[in-house]
Amino acid sequence: MTDAANFLRRCGLFRDFDDKSLELISQSAEEITVDGGLDIVRENEAGDAMYVVLAGEVQVYTRNAESREITLAGLAA
């Protein structure tokens, strides 16, 4: 199994997938690098991708009525 497929297996969502399915998913995946401070997805925008954090951390946040940032979660590899 490839490194990418092995990494996916450690993610809760993919834990019960068989080797063949993990390989197919990992082959269609694209690895990207995002600079700190940039938004990956935005609330209320249509999604067209799924992200798995391989390294580093991401912050999930929303804004309240006064536009203050409210952290919902911190995610890491």
Q: Quote the pLDDT of residue 77.
A: 83
Q: Flag whether pLDDT at 70 surpasses 90.
A: yes
The 8-class DSSP code of residue 2 comes to -
- Cβ neighbours of residue 71 under 8 Å, at least 6 residues apart? 59, 60, 61
The torsion angles phi and psi of 2, rounded to 5 degrees, stand at -75, 165
User: Does residue 59 carry a pLDDT above 90?
Assistant: yes
The reported pLDDT for the residue numbered 11 is 87
Q: How far apart are CA 21 and CA 26, in angstroms?
A: 9
Distance CA 19, CA 72 (A): 33
Q: What is the pLDDT of residues 9-52, one digit of tens each?
A: 888 899 899 999 999 999 998 999 999 999 999 999 999 999 98
* Tokens describing residue 66: 């006064």
